Amino acid sequence: MAKPPLTHQIRYLKNEAGETREVVVSVELWRKIASQLQDSVSGLAWVDEYEPNSQILEDLQASLEDMARGETRPISELWDD
């Protein structure tokens, strides 16, 4: 089934004065948008810049455990092209 045009995937919420106050999008569309955002100062992707420190530490610990078991991959496999 074809996806509806982007204009049909976005809903605008207005206040009593008719001013647009909020935008509602599906989780799927939000994930696509968020994956394209970059922090203007650091240049990091939005999801990387604002990832909680606890998640970063958890990922690092898992990577170190993989390395200790000899489960390594070329760095090029980690990059998104």
In 3D space, the residue among 26, 33, 1 whose CA is nearest the CA of residue 11 turns out to be 26
First to last CA, the chain: 28
- At residue 9, what is the residue type? Q
Instruction: Please give the backbone phi and psi of residue 14, each rounded to the nearest 5 degrees, phi first.
Output: -115, 155
Q: H-helix or E-strand containing 20?
A: strand 20-25
In this prediction the pTM is 0.43
Q: Rounded CA gap, 20 and 12, in Å?
A: 6
Tens-digit pLDDT profile for residues 11-67:
999 999 999 999 999 888 888 887 777 767 777 776 677 778 888 889 889 989 998
